[in-house]
Chains A and B, each alone.
Chain A
Amino acid sequence: MMRINANPTMDTAIKLLAVAVAMFAFVFVVMVPLYNVLCDVLGINGKTDGTAYTAVSTVVDESRTITVQFIAQNNDEMPWRFKPQVTMMKVHPGAANDTTFFAANPTSDDMVAQAIPSISPARAAEYFHKTECFCFNQQPLDGNADTAMPLQFIIDQDLPKDIQTITLSYTLFDVTEMVRDAVASR
């Protein structure tokens, strides 16, 4: 750092203050983004990529069959009915699969939901590619309405050999107020 002050004590103090400020900024500009990157790479918490997978797979590995379980649950006081069309599928790595989740809003209010995916074992997360998912966007639903939400996915051929079962869980959060606040503050 440049010499800011002729007084060495002030010089030390100002440098240290700069370190403190930098460490505060470090939390926001380094730790948070870095954590999100690490989550994507390492599948921490079984988090999956938040965007659609575009690479098209060519080889289907018919010799392996992977069991995929689906879990749909509501967070806290989310009143929607939410469930998968099938609770389980047997799929081959490399093949494109699709299924559907159903959601119904039993209240008379218009609401918005966000589904959060999580995969177990977490190591499988980076091999689970979603080409289309309702979790990419928030899902608005009018009062007393219901909807069918599509999910398309491919399991990577490179999935580690010891993994035979993958569980995909969606937790549905009520984000109605969060969306309303965001709109209001705009």
Chain B
Amino acid sequence: MGDHHHGPAKGLTRWLFTTNHKDIGTMYLWFSFAMFILGGSFAMIIRAELFQPGLQLVEPAFFNQMTTLHGLIMVFGAIMPSFVGLANWMIPMMIGAPDMALPRMNNWSFWILPPAFLMLASTLFMEGGAPAFGWTFYAPLSTTYAPPSVTFFIFAIHVLGVSSIMGSINIIATVMNMRAPGMTYMKMPLFVWTWLITAFLLVAVMPVLAGAVTMMLMDIHFGTSFFSAAGGGDPVLFQHVFWFFGHPEVYIIILPAFGVVSQIIPTFSRKPLFGYASMVYATAAIAFLSFVVWAHHMYTVGMPVAGELFFMYATMLIAVPTGVKVFNWVTTMWRGALSFETPMMFSLGFLILFTIGGFTGLMLSIAPADFQYHDTYFVVAHFHYVMVAGAVFSMTGAVYYWLPKWCGRMYNESMGQVHFWVSFIGFNITFFPQHFVGLAGMPRRIPDYALQFADFNMMSSIGAFIYGASQILFLYNVIATIVAGEKVSDEKTWDGAEGLEWTLPTPAPYHTFEVPPMIEAEPAH
């Protein structure tokens, strides 16, 4: 692994060739923020078109390209890489390791991402336009009826899949082999636990996604008929394969968010996490169940009734471990000494809004009721409560929480509070009314809608612009902190914080834990 006793290289080559987990983590975080802004700007176009009934700004075909790219970029470009970035930064520091286990592979798994997304974004300028078949790309709309750019889309999915698999292998290898002496599995911080389980999910299901797009590629170019009834295939098979990947994917996105919140809430409650062991078991249970619930996305395709019942019951069961987690977080706060700095505010926002998203998820699991909810704005509202208020809020909280440790400077607290409140209010104005229009009968993925949905859509669009604008404040606050924030040097930025990362100097030096730390006998979580 070479000589560790030097600082970072100078200039561009530092970033191109770096094998340092902190550098790579930083690049992941900035890349994912760039993708968040890009995917967000597509969302702004969508909401602007939906501001009023009628077609104002874009053609329906382009609208579909926007919804497709918004979904793909947010899921694969923004949320997933942001948590990989966080894992890179924090996991070695949390388990007392000097770096990731496979630092060169770490470099590759980051650097193949930007070209993949560049290719995906460039489909916008290709003949026939970008993919317009939704982020779920159901065949045959994505095969026989797809624009020519679908081949580039498939290649991009393959590349980012490879990146995710490499990243996950690295995380698992790090956690399994690089823990400091005495850091047993049941002493690991919950963020490390949730990421370990997430990484196993990724290794298991990203190849399934690769399989699905490979079958598409073969159907389009090599005359096979996996998804075409004409040659003995079946378009519904695509949905089964996709959701066999897609449902675990949902937990891949949310589990690290659970981990982050489980670090932040105890810190600002000044009280240890309640039910650490049950948190670990609940996470594992959720991951396990995620493999047997995929067809709840397909209640309307005409499954046998026995299948519907199986998937309904299995899906409802997920409410049990998820409930355990929520109860544990609330109990952690109970009789703590709470304070409400920005990271805590985002965690509380997460807790409230994710719980609402969980409730609508439970409603959606009820097969007969889902016949009315399926593919409406009710679903859009549900998964944005989980994806945005869940994953993105938690990620935002994580940045505020660890930013002082990363750069040795404190962010502007009042600006952070403003960011939280504007985000929280903007988010709810955007997505709460979508429950109503969904229940009233508005299908998703339409560029224009009936007049009865007009008021709530306008409200939704206004909320989206507010939420979008608040992210600029976030960007400003982060940059201002890095450039000119008030310097901090306490090892513990937060008086209630526990864990190995808070035993390190602030800012964290380029190389940390070259000598493994001594782990105290008491649990460190």
Q: Which residues of A contact B (CB under 8 A)?
A: 8-9, 12-13, 16-17, 19-24, 26-28, 31-32, 35, 39, 42-45, 47, 50, 75, 114, 116, 122-123, 171, 173-175, 178, 181-182, 185
Q: Are A13 and B229 in contact (CB under 8 A)?
A: no
A103 to chain B, nearest CB (A): 15
B235-243, B416-424, B431-439: which lies at the A interface?
B235-243
Distance between Cα atoms of A39 and B225 in the complex (Å)? 16
Distance between Cα atoms of A43 and B432 in the complex (Å)? 40
Task: Given A9-B102, A20-B206, A45-B236, decide whether A27 and B304 contact each other with a Cβ distance below 8 A.
Answer: no
Known contacts A42-B306, A75-B229, A178-B225; 7 additional CB pairs below 8 A are A12-B101, A13-B173, A16-B203, A23-B207, A26-B208, A27-B212, A175-B230
A30 to chain B, nearest CB (A): 10
Complex interface: chain A residues within 8 A of B211 (CB): 23-24, 26-28, 31
The reply on B87 being an interface residue by CB < 8 A is no
Complex interface: chain B residues within 8 A of A8 (CB): 176-177
Task: Given A27-B212, A171-B229, decide whether A35 and B237 contact each other with a Cβ distance below 8 A.
Answer: yes
Complex interface: chain B residues within 8 A of A19 (CB): 203-204
Query: Which residue in chain A gives the minimum CB-CB distance to B211?
Result: A27
The reply on B205 being an interface residue by CB < 8 A is yes
The reply on B287 being an interface residue by CB < 8 A is no
B466 to chain A, nearest CB (A): 42
Distance between Cα atoms of A16 and B166 in the complex (Å)? 10
Complex interface: chain B residues within 8 A of A114 (CB): 230-231
Query: Which residue in chain A gives the minimum CB-CB distance to B224?
Result: A178
In the complex, chain B residues 176-230 whose Cβ is within 8 Å of any chain A Cβ: 176-178, 203-208, 210-212, 214-215, 223, 225-226, 228-230
Distance between Cα atoms of A35 and B240 in the complex (Å)? 9
B235 to chain A, nearest CB (A): 9
Complex interface: chain B residues within 8 A of A123 (CB): 304
Q: A13, A23, A35, A171: which contacts B169 (Cβ < 8 A)?
A: A13
Task: Given A27-B211, A31-B241, A178-B223, decide whether A122 and B169 contact each other with a Cβ distance below 8 A.
Answer: no
Complex interface: chain A residues within 8 A of B304 (CB): 42-44, 122-123
B310 to chain A, nearest CB (A): 11
The reply on B518 being an interface residue by CB < 8 A is no
Complex interface: chain A residues within 8 A of B516 (CB): none
Distance between Cα atoms of A50 and B170 in the complex (Å)? 46
For the residues of A in contact with B, the DSSP-based class is helix
Complex interface: chain A residues within 8 A of B207 (CB): 20-24, 26-27
Query: Which residue in chain B gives the minimum CB-CB distance to A42?
Result: B304
Task: Given A32-B237, A45-B236, A116-B229, decide whether A20 and B172 contact each other with a Cβ distance below 8 A.
Answer: no
**B contacts with A, residue count (CB < 8 A):** 42
Q: Which of B168, B169, B236 has the most CB of A within 10 A?
A: B169
Distance between Cα atoms of A17 and B215 in the complex (Å)? 21
The reply on B232 being an interface residue by CB < 8 A is yes
B132 to chain A, nearest CB (A): 19
In the complex, chain B residues 150-175 whose Cβ is within 8 Å of any chain A Cβ: 165, 168-170, 172-173
Task: Given A42-B307, A44-B236, decide whether A12 and B208 contact each other with a Cβ distance below 8 A.
Answer: no
B116 to chain A, nearest CB (A): 17
Distance between Cα atoms of A16 and B228 in the complex (Å)? 33
The reply on B234 being an interface residue by CB < 8 A is yes
Distance between Cα atoms of A19 and B102 in the complex (Å)? 18
Query: Which residue in chain B gives the minimum CB-CB distance to A184?
Result: B223
Complex interface: chain B residues within 8 A of A31 (CB): 208, 211, 240-241, 244
For the residues of B in contact with A, the DSSP-based class is helix
Query: Which residue in chain B gives the minimum CB-CB distance to A31?
Result: B241
Q: Are A13 and B230 in contact (CB under 8 A)?
A: no
A55 to chain B, nearest CB (A): 24
Q: Are A13 and B234 in contact (CB under 8 A)?
A: no
Complex interface: chain A residues within 8 A of B229 (CB): 75, 116, 171, 173
Complex interface: chain A residues within 8 A of B169 (CB): 12-13, 16-17, 20
Complex interface: chain B residues within 8 A of A9 (CB): 101-102, 173, 177-178
Q: Are B230 and A173 in contact (CB under 8 A)?
A: yes
Q: B102, B165, B226, B302: which contacts A32 (Cβ < 8 A)?
A: B226
Query: Which residue in chain B gives the minimum CB-CB distance to A39?
Result: B234
The reply on B303 being an interface residue by CB < 8 A is yes
Distance between Cα atoms of A110 and B482 in the complex (Å)? 71
Distance between Cα atoms of A160 and B62 in the complex (Å)? 49
Q: Are A24 and B176 in contact (CB under 8 A)?
A: no
Q: Which of B105, B212, B223, B225 has the most CB of A within 10 A?
A: B223
Q: Are A23 and B203 in contact (CB under 8 A)?
A: yes
Shortest 10 CB-CB distances between A and B: which pairs?
A27-B211, A173-B230, A24-B207, A23-B207, A12-B173, A16-B169, A9-B101, A116-B229, A42-B304, A9-B177
In the assembled complex, 7 residue pairs joining A and B whose CB atoms fall closer than 8 Å, in A order, are A13-B169, A23-B208, A42-B306, A44-B302, A75-B230, A173-B229, A175-B231
A170 to chain B, nearest CB (A): 11
B357 to chain A, nearest CB (A): 28
Complex interface: chain B residues within 8 A of A35 (CB): 234, 237, 240
B335 to chain A, nearest CB (A): 41
B230 to chain A, nearest CB (A): 4
Task: Given A27-B241, A35-B234, decide whether A13 and B205 contact each other with a Cβ distance below 8 A.
Answer: no
Q: B223, B230, B237, B303: which contacts A116 (Cβ < 8 A)?
A: B230
Task: Given A23-B203, A23-B205, A35-B234, decide whether A13 and B101 contact each other with a Cβ distance below 8 A.
Answer: yes
In the complex, chain B residues 261-318 whose Cβ is within 8 Å of any chain A Cβ: 302-304, 306-307
Distance between Cα atoms of A136 and B35 in the complex (Å)? 50
B216 to chain A, nearest CB (A): 12
Complex interface: chain B residues within 8 A of A44 (CB): 236, 302-304
Complex interface: chain B residues within 8 A of A75 (CB): 229-230
Q: Which of B168, B230, B302, B306 has the most CB of A within 10 A?
A: B230
Q: Are B240 and A13 in contact (CB under 8 A)?
A: no
Distance between Cα atoms of A35 and B176 in the complex (Å)? 36
